[in-house]
Amino acid sequence: MARITASVYTSHVPAIGAALDLGKSGEPYWQKVFAGYEFSKQWLRNNTPDVIFLVYNDHANAFSLDLIPTFAIGCAAEFPIADEGWGPRPVPAVKGHPELAAHIAQSVIQDDFDLTIVNKMPVDHGLTVPLSLMCGQPAAGKFAWPCPVIPFAVNVVQYPVPSGRRCYNLGRAIRKAVESFDAPLKVQVWGTGGMSHQLQGPRAGLINREFDAAFLDQLIAAPEVLAQKPHIDYVREAGSEGIELVMWLIARGAMNDNSPKVAHRFYHVPASNTAVGHLILENT
Ligand code: DHB
Ligand code: FE
C-alpha cells in the first residue's frame, strides 16, 4: 500500500521565483532566504518520494472570479506553467499522477469532502515556487522535477474560505485515501503559502513574528488545537494573506497521529512583503 512518509511546509512568495529566474539568488538579500533551504534540497535528494501531493492556492491564474472551487484536485497527466503576466516561469511543466489523484478523489469524496475534479489547469507561483525552493533551479534543457506532483488547489483568495478545522480533517481523509492505494508508493504532502503577510490596504506590509512562531510551535506539537483557530484570527493577526496558512493544516492532518520528527525549521523576514516560514516533518 502507499504511505505518507513526510510533510513539507513553505511560503511561496512570487519574488523568490523571480530572484531564481533572473539569477539574483546570490545577492545578500536573497542569500538569507535561500540559506534556509540548503538543508532541504539535500534532504529531498536523500528522501525523494514517488509522488508529492502539493497543497497550494491559485492566485486567479487558473480560476477567476467566474469559478471558485474551494478544493480542486488536479487529475491530469501534465500541468503547464501559468503565465502570470511576465510569461511562464522557465521551469519544467509538472507531471501529474492521474491514478493516485483519481483514487484520492474517489476516497475523499466518499468521505464527504466535495472536491472539484480538474483535468486541465495551469499552475502558478503557489505551486512552482515551493518546488523551486526544494529542488533548486533547473539546468537549461535537461531538468525535470524529481517526481510526479498532484496539485491540490485551495481557495484562500476569495471569501468565504474553508476553516482550519475542515482543512485538518481533509488532511486526515487524504491520509486514509493514500493508505488505501494499492501500490507501494512513498508520498509526501506539502502545505504551502503564508506566513504572516498582507499585500493591500492600510495594513500592507504587516508581519507578526509572535503569531508565526506560535503557529509553527502548535503545528508541530498541537495541530488539533491549532485547527480550532477561526479564520478571522488569521486575518486579524497574520494579515489578509496570512489566511493561506490554513493550507498547512491539510498537510499536517495527513501525518500520523503520533509526534513527527522535526527534520528542519526555518523562519526569516522579509522576502518581498512576506515572512518566510519552512518546516520539514517526518513520520515516525
Ligand atoms: C506576495 C506574497 C504572496 O503570497 C503572493 O501570492 C503574492 C505576493 C509578496 O510578498 O509580494
Ligand atoms: Fe500567495
Q: What is the pLDDT of residue 137?
A: 79
Number of structural domains found in the chain: 1
For the cut 80, the answer to whether the pLDDT of residue 105 exceeds it is yes
Evaluated on CA atoms 162, 164, 165, 170, the torsion sign reads: positive
| 140, pLDDT greater than 60 | no
Alpha-carbon distance 226 to 188, whole Å? 21
Domain range for 133: 3-282
d(CA 12, CA 3): 26
Q: Is 59 in the pocket of ligand 1 (CB under 6 A)?
A: yes
**CA proximity to 71, closest of 109, 125, 97, 126:** 109
- What is the radius of gyration, based on Cα positions, of the chain? 17
Number of residues written out for the chain: 284
Ligand 1 atom index nearest CA of 274 = 10
Q: Whose CA is nearest to atom 10 of ligand 1?
A: 273
Q: Which three cell numbers stand for residue 35?
A: 540559506
Q: What is the pLDDT of residues 66-80, one digit of tens each?
A: 999 999 999 999 999
**pLDDT value of position 142:** 59
The grid coordinates listed for 15 are 519574488
Res. 28: pLDDT tops 70:
yes
Cβ of 21 below 6 Å from ligand 1:
no
- Domain of 213, CATH number, reads 3.40.830.10
CA dist., res. 43 & res. 278, Å (int): 13
pLDDT band at 259 (very low <50, low <70, confident <90, very high): very high
Q: To test ligand 1's pocket by mutation, which of 12, 241, 245 has the most ligand atoms within 8 angstroms of CB? A: 241
pLDDT in tens, 218-243: 999 999 999 999 999 999 999 999 99
* Average of per-residue pLDDT across 106-132: 98
Secondary structure E strands in 114-159: 116-118, 149-154
* SS3 call for 149: strand
- Residue 17 pLDDT more than 90? yes
User: Which atom of ligand 1 is nearest to 241's Cα?
Assistant: 4
Nearest CA to ligand 1 atom 1: 13
